[in-house]
Amino acid sequence: MTPAIRLALMADAPAIAQCLLALGHDRYTVLAEDVAQRLAQLQTEGAAVLVVELPEQGVVGVCHIAGVRNLSTTGYAEIMELAVREDCQGQGVGTALIHAAKDWAQCRGFARLRLRSGVHRVQAHAFYERLGFRCSRASYAFEQTLV
């Protein structure tokens, strides 16, 4: 069975918040109200939030993808977040979301699809490699709190 993939709706916010818990870090524990507010900002021409909805289970996976245009390269599309509810992992949900993200990127003229994954997420790395991703380089993420 091919999972149904569609753009996220505001009503999906509670289910998306549950999916994000699968990322396993306190940073991804968000309230449904916060997800709903962010959805309104993220569903733009340059980005999309896609969900997988399974019969009788509702939304079980989410993928936020965004296009990145820059001066030094032709740009790329980046999967900003990919999460599948833990009880639905291993059922093709993540794979379906990756394929949908590829389609989204190609339809917008991007020749590269990127994603970032924490060094501790060994199982996720194996999943991405099975789908054709290769670790391109190691880097540090620098961050500064502005508020």
How many domains are there within the chain? 1
User: Is the distance from CB of 49 to CB of 43 less than 8 angstroms?
Assistant: yes
Element housing 40 (H / E): helix 32-42
Q: Answer whether residue 81 is part of any domain.
A: yes
Q: Answer whether residue 12 is part of any domain.
A: yes
Q: Answer whether residue 137 is part of any domain.
A: no
Q: Is the pLDDT of residue 122 over 90?
A: no
Q: Answer whether residue 53 is part of any domain.
A: yes
Displacement of CA 74 from its chain's centroid (Å) = 22
**pLDDT the model gives residue 28:** 62
**pLDDT the model gives residue 10:** 94
Q: Is the pLDDT of residue 13 over 80?
A: yes
What is the per-residue pLDDT across 80-104, written as a single tens digit (0 to 9) for each?
999 999 999 999 999 999 999 999 9
Q: Answer whether residue 97 is part of any domain.
A: yes
> Domain limits at 124?
4-130
Q: Answer whether residue 139 is part of any domain.
A: no
Q: Answer whether residue 73 is part of any domain.
A: yes
pLDDT, averaged across the chain: 88
What is the per-residue pLDDT across 37-76, written as a single tens digit (0 to 9) for each?
999 888 877 999 999 999 889 999 999 999 999 899 889 9
- Tell me how far apart the 2 most distant CA atoms of the chain are, in Å: 47
CATH number for 109 = 3.40.630.30
Q: Answer whether residue 141 is part of any domain.
A: no
